[in-house]
């Protein structure tokens, strides 16, 4: 697999090109199969014959689902579990459970979750793989 932006070789499991930082499948200057330059509007690579379909740069996680999880279950870190941020989610869950008898800790976690909900809806938070959330 080759980066469609810079033409350098990529591992098929990479989400981002390590050379240029472009998400896998984004770009139109190089063939993802052979790495040879192609015309930006080309449908087929003239060198190897592979179809040049671009993968969407958006991940499979929903912005609306993540935002609503943050608003309604954010104290428990459920939105972070959904997005793949397991460490952060476990911290939110444990702090909420272990310090639920106080007023300050759950309130602080709730504010943290609301701030993250706003950032999710603004598109500032990605999933754990670095992919943008779909609308």
C-beta separation of 113 from 74 below 8 A: yes
Mean pLDDT of 128-132: 88
Q: What is the pLDDT of residues 83-102, one digit of tens each?
A: 999 999 999 999 999 988 88
Name 16's Cβ contacts closer than 8 Å, sequence gap at least 6.
22, 23, 24, 130
Mean pLDDT of 60-76: 94
C-beta separation of 120 from 133 below 8 A: yes
pLDDT at 85: 96
pLDDT at 56: 47
Q: What is the pLDDT of residues 11-64, one digit of tens each?
A: 888 888 888 888 887 777 788 888 888 887 778 888 888 887 654 456 689 999
- Which residues sit opposite 49 in a β-bridge? none
């Amino acid at each position: 697999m080759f980066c469609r932006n810079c033409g350098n070789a990529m591992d098929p499991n990479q989400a981002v090109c390590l050379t240029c930082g472009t998400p896998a499948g984004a770009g139109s200057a190089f063939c993802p199969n052979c790495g040879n330059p192609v015309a930006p509007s080309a449908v087929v690579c003239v060198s190897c014959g592979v179809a040049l379909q671009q993968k969407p740069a958006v991940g499979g996680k929903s912005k609306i689902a993540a935002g609503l999880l943050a608003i309604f279950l954010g104290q428990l870190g459920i939105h972070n579990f959904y997005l793949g941020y397991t460490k952060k989610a476990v911290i939110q869950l444990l702090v909420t459970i272990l310090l639920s008898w106080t007023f300050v800790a759950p309130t602080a976690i709730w504010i943290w979750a609301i701030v993250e909900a706003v950032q999710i809806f603004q598109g500032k938070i990605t999933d754990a793989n670095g992919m943008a959330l779909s609308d």
